[in-house]
A = this chain, B = another copy of it.
């Protein structure tokens, strides 16, 4: 048998103050005399009272939760977005609640449904691609919705991110400028990672404009990304030994490839060039710096949270907010000038 938890009434009785005034003290709202305030505080503390937000939220029709829906926690990219969100929420009474979709639209829909059923103050959700059901729920939710990470597509409400197409194009351009021509692509076998797909599309488009085609490709799924990066690099190079550049869809596999090539004694970046994507902190510790592109993760999180707060408190009319951040290319040591 579970114990009933303490209620406002218990504190009221223990302190001899009305429930309403106890409530006021505990929320710090309304004028309460210092004397009663102390009495109440003391009683609440003594009893170990923790307010019941379920009841509070029902009565006030306000919830201090912000739903954050992301594809994965394993990716390192998303925890950074979360840090941005937490930072923006730090001084407020709002709290992020995290949901993970594993890149599956059906799971996204389920997670979204669960979260909406707690009537959060706002929703921050990764990506612009959602199932019809999810889109309907988001539109009907009646709260601010901010789609993050990506701006290539149609947003439901607000949107903060970078253009992954553009990111792919920029990298392609830089690679062509550096004189590389036999280019291989290595990525994840994830048709549902739309951002990776868009980068690849932008990449090939820009190459095509320079009269270059991706010479070979290799994909992986599962396992340690670093180890997979090695394997894939070995595989693609044994199949296409003439490649002079490898573009990786993320830094982890890029780092694996980098380690492999260094061990093989390849001359980087002259013999072969490399680039990844994301600008993860890990790269700082590698023997040489992998070329990459910062995805502005932290900033995206911060801005998204700020938008939710502004909209929820009615400071801003909904919709029409689109913030496109500019990814910065960090050439590192694996891309010749």
Contact = CB atoms under 8 A, between A and B. Distances in A.
A283 B3 CA distance: 47
B286 A259 contact: yes
A210 interface: no
A43 interface: no
A236 B55 CA distance: 57
A2 B54 contact: no
Contacts of A52: 117, 119
Nearest to A1: B314
B117 A51 contact: yes
A60 to B, nearest CB: 10
Nearest to A281: B224
Nearest to A56: B117
Contacts of A51: 117
A297 to B, nearest CB: 12
Nearest to A142: B3
Contact of A2 (B100, B137, B143): B143
Interface stretch (A155-163, A164-172, A179-187, A226-234): A226-234
Interface centre among A48, A55, A73, A82 (most CB of B within 10 A): A73
Contact of A117 (B53, B116, B259): B53
A58 B48 contact: no
Interface in A250-284: 255-256, 259, 263, 281-284
Interface in A203-244: 223-230
Interface string A133-168: 000110011110000000000000000000000000
B114 A95 contact: yes
Contacts of A100: 86
A240 to B, nearest CB: 22
Contacts of A224: 281-285
A79 interface: yes
B53 A227 contact: no
Interface of A: 2-6, 48, 50-58, 63, 73-74, 76, 79, 82-83, 86, 95, 97-98, 100, 113-114, 116-119, 136-137, 140-143, 223-230, 255-256, 259, 263, 281-287
Given A50-B117, A52-B117, A256-B285, 15 more contacts: A2-B142, A5-B140, A6-B140, A50-B140, A54-B57, A55-B58, A73-B73, A73-B79, A73-B83, A74-B83, A76-B76, A79-B79, A223-B284, A224-B281, A224-B282
11 contacts: A5-B140, A48-B136, A48-B137, A50-B140, A50-B141, A54-B63, A74-B83, A95-B114, A227-B285, A256-B285, A259-B285
